[in-house]
Amino acid sequence: EVQLVESGGGLVKPGGSLRLSCAASGFTFNTFGMNWVRQAPGKGLEWVSSISYSSRYIYYADSLKGRFTISRDNAQNSLYLQMNSLRVEDTAIYYCARGQDNFDCWGQGTLVTVSS
Amino acid sequence: SYVLTQPPSVSVAPGKTARITCGGNNIGDKSVHWYQQKPGQAPVLVIYNDSDRPSGIPERFSGSNSGNMATSGNTAALTITGVEAGDEADYYCQVWDSSSYHWVFGGGTKLTVL
């Protein structure tokens, strides 16, 4: 069974940092592109970042302005999102999602709350 | 940047047909994907590449894009026939914008089953 499990969310003060992880299982991780998508409370889906299977291609939403870094460890079947200089408006559920042509499998998400 | 426009809400009686639209400039040139999200749950892919259904998605769900005969203009659509109470959810369209190398989601449509 394909499974994606996010972790690393929590409460952080503005200006702080967090590193999210996504553990993948049930499929050949190193053959799939991966993505992060977030959803602010009561709002719609917002694409955050994507990384190709080999890490050769990496893309970010313009709104991040260089504060977030996506990475992956194919040996560990894991996806990461390093988030720096966090702002109140980064408060959201962060989902990891599998796929490069569409997002065919999603984790349950991890909540990041940025508040003083 | 590329923008996808969805109606905020659509209401339909049980057993009827719901149609959720997704507008975008020359959207017929792109592959449109649709996701269903029920309250408190992660999104689920229900239509990919305009009109393909992942395994496990009922045939009641279908998709079309302005590149084919079922829709017109700069519009893609998700159609749900024989709507059931369990179809009540938020639905999002998505495309890849190759000019900016960005994924784009529509604002979402809340489907209410009356």
Average pLDDT of the segment spanning A46-53: 98
Contact state of A44 with B45 under an 8 Å Cβ cutoff: no
Say if A102 is an interface residue toward chain B (CB within 8 Å). Answer: yes
Q: What's the helix, strand, coil split of chain A in %, to 5?
A: 10, 50, 40
Q: Is B29 helix (H, G, I), strand (E, B) or coil?
A: helix
CA distances from B66 to A90, A109, B3, B4 (A): 35, 33, 16, 14
Minimum distance, in Å, between the CA of residue B101 and any CA atom of chain A: 7
CB B85 within 8 A of CB B113: yes
Is the pLDDT score of A22 beyond 60? yes
Cβ-based contacts of A38 with chain B (< 8 Å): none
Q: What are phi and psi of A59, to 5 degrees?
A: -135, 150
> Are A53 and A33 spatial neighbours (Cβ–Cβ below 8 Å)?
yes
Q: What is the largest CA-CA distance in chain B?
A: 41
Q: Which of A50, A61, A109 lies closest to B42 in CB terms?
A: A109
**Does A94 reach chain B within 8 Å, measured CB to CB?**
no
Per-residue pLDDT for chain B (114 aa), expressed as one digit of tens each? 999 999 999 999 999 999 999 999 999 999 999 999 999 999 999 999 999 999 999 999 999 997 554 555 689 999 999 999 999 999 999 999 999 999 999 999 999 999
% chain A with pLDDT above 90: 98
Question: Hey, is the C-beta of A89 within 8 angstroms of any chain B C-beta?
Answer: no
pLDDT digits (tens, 9 = 90+) for B93-106: 999 999 999 999 99
Question: Rg (Cα) of chain B, in Å, rounded?
Answer: 13
Q: How confident is the model at residue A8 (pLDDT cuts 50, 70, 90)?
A: very high
Phi, psi dihedrals of residue B50, rounded to the nearest 5°: 75, -45
pLDDT of residue B67: 56
Say whether A45 and B49 touch across the interface (CB within 8 A): no
Q: Is A103 on the interface with B (CB under 8 A)?
A: yes
